[in-house]
Each structure stands twice: as C-alpha cells, then as structure tokens.
C-alpha cells in the first residue's frame, strides 16, 4: 500500500457541478477511500438530499436521523453527526437526509445563511481529537444555498467533467459563480482541480472533450482520467468504494492514481 504525503492542514474540497450524473458523488467517495487507505484521515460531508455518498460509505441516512440538515438549520454541532464509515477506519461521513431538500428554502431567512457550514466545519476541525487531512463536500446538482454553503466552507473546488456531449455546457456559469463567491464570501476559494470522468477511449468525442478541457484548464486538469467502468457503477449498491469492491479493477486503479496526484499537487502548491 502506497503512503502519500499528508498536508499539514486539512484540505477542504467542494465537489461541484450543477449537472447531475457527472460523477460528483462517485469522485467524492472514491478519492476519499483512496486517501484514507494511503494514510489520511478523511471526512466526507454529504450535502445532497439524495444521500448517495452516505449510502456508498455504508452510513445510514433515514429521515428520523440527525444529519447535516440539523447542522445547517438548527446549529447542531457537526461532531454530533460525524459517523464512521464501513469503508475504512480513517474515513468518516456526515450523512444527508431528505430533509435537506427543504433547507434550500429554510436557509433563506436565517442569519449568515451562506456561512453556516463553514462555521460548523471550522469549529469541528479546530477541536477534533485527531486532525483530518482531507474533507470532501459532495454537492447537489444545483447552484443554490446548499452549494453556496459548500463553496464558503471549502478552500478548493474540484469539478468532475463527464467526457460526453454537452460536457462544457454550464461550465462558464459555474466558473462565474465561483468568482462571485471568491470576491464576496470566501477569498481563499480557488478552482484547484478538474477530473475527467466516464471516459470511453473508443469514442472520438471523449478524446475531443478531454483535449478541450486540458486546453482551457492546463493547470487544474489531473493527468489521470477516470474510465467508464461497470465496476465503478456497481460498487455503491454494495455500500463500498470501487477500491474495496474490486481493488485491481481499472476504476479502482484510476481513482487511486487521481488521489495520489491530488496529494502530490497539494505538496507542490503548498504556500501559494
Ligand atoms: P453525480 O453525483 O454527479 O450525480 P454520480 O457520481 O452519482 O454523479 O454518477 C452518476 C451515475 O454514473 C451513477 O450511477 C454512477 O454509479 C455512474 N458512474 C459514475 N462514474 C462512473 C464511471 N467511471 N464508470 C461508470 N459509471 C459511473
Ligand atoms: Mg451525487
């Protein structure tokens, strides 16, 4: 098992793309699993009412349970809803429940409505017994207040881009939103990482999309590309990452490589 360099401070990523089905949750879960295996303590915050990240990490999210919803709306301390995952002893998850769907509306009338996740997360990370090295916030497919809370809580944005039709559509809107957040709500936020997902090397289209993304974002786009793979899509129904579901599969290998790149790039860019 490979050991990766660990950041001195927690790196907080929001995994965002207002499109659904582009691989946000899959990326959050599998990068988190890979980094935990490589020695990091990792927290996944599920901010999508569907709770897919919670499911994939084997963490219950029934509607009668407390979740990130109570943290956002009722000021519940985050520590109360951090659960161990079944995936790895160093991997933890804050589940989402379906109540989160209402939070988009309920947050509107609350004080500091954009800062609520940031405050809860900063307080938690400052007081936790053993420090975390990575936090991944899995966003819903929208640019509403939940996603804004994620942008304000994070320092780095990771955008998964599906190598398919219309891959770049909507990207400029996402980028201008990140700019607005950076100007007005979170100076520290930067688009650090783009990950190409669901790549099918047999199609010209996938190659064109990958090339176009690299031209626009040469610094941010990871070398590693995640291929389309049945094993990746099967893993969540077993409450597992693809890495524990089928360690030697191409999907597992590529997410482990992407995680290693993420960790090394963090080292290179530290301090700027
Ligand atoms: P999002 O969170 O952006 O909505 P998901 O991560 O849930 O997207 O992925 C959408 C669907 O595509 C899921 O069914 C998932 O299992 C599948 N999927 C994601 N990545 C891959 C991949 N590399 N190969 C095959 N299927 C994938
Ligand atoms: Mg999702």
Ligand 1 geometric centre to CA of 270 (Å): 31
pLDDT of amino acid 269: 56
Query: What is residue 94's three-state secondary structure?
Result: strand
Q: Which ligand is nearest to the CA of 236?
A: 1
Q: Give dist(CA 136, CA 42) in Å, integer.
A: 8
Q: How far are the Cα atoms of 33, 34, 46, 88, 241 from residue 42, in angstroms, in the given order? A: 8, 10, 13, 10, 14
CB contact at 8 A, 55 and 236: yes
pLDDT of amino acid 197: 96
Domain boundaries, the chain: 11-265
pTM: 0.97
pLDDT of amino acid 271: 45
Using the Cα atoms of residue 7, residue 11, residue 16 and residue 22 in order, give the sign of their dihedral: positive
Which residues lie with the beta carbon below 6 Å from any ligand 1 atom?
A: 20-26, 52, 141, 197-198, 226, 228-229, 232-233, 236, 251
Fold of 11-265: Rossmann fold (3.40.50)
pLDDT of amino acid 169: 82
Nearest CA to ligand 1 atom 26: 233
For the chain (272 residues), the mean pLDDT of every run of 10, in chain order, is 85 96 97 97 97 96 96 98 97 97 93 96 97 98 95 98 84 94 97 96 90 94 97 95 97 98 80 44
pLDDT of amino acid 1: 56
């Amino acid at each position: 098992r490979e050991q990766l360099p660990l950041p001195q401070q927690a790196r907080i990523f929001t995994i965002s793309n207002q499109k659904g089905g582009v691989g946000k949750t899959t990326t959050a879960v599998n990068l988190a699993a890979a980094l935990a295996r490589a020695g990091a303590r990792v927290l996944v915050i599920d901010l999508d009412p569907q709770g897919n990240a919670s499911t994939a990490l084997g963490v219950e999210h029934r509607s009668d349970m407390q979740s990130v919803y109570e943290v956002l709306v009722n000021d519940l301390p985050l520590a109360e809803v951090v659960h161990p995952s079944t995936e790895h002893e160093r991997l933890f998850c804050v589940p989402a429940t379906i109540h989160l769907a209402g939070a988009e509306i309920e947050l509107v009338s609350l004080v500091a409505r954009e800062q609520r996740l940031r405050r809860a997360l900063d307080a938690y990370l400052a007081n936790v017994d053993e420090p975390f090295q990575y936090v991944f916030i899995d966003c819903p497919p929208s640019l509403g207040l939940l996603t804004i809370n994620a942008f304000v809580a994070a320092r780095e944005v990771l955008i998964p881009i599906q190598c398919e039709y219309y891959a770049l559509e909507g990207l400029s809107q996402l980028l201008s939103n990140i700019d607005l957040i950076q100007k007005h709500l979170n100076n520290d936020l930067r688009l650090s990482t783009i990950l190409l997902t669901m790549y099918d090397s047999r199609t010209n289209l996938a190659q064109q999309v990958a090339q176009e993304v690299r031209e626009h974002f040469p610094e941010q786009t990871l070398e590693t590309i995640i291929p389309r793979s049945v094993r990746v899509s099967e893993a969540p129904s077993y409450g597992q990452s693809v890495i524990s579901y089928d360690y030697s599969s191409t999907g597992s290998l590529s997410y482990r490589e992407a995680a290693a790149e993420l960790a090394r790039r963090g080292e290179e860019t530290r301090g700027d």
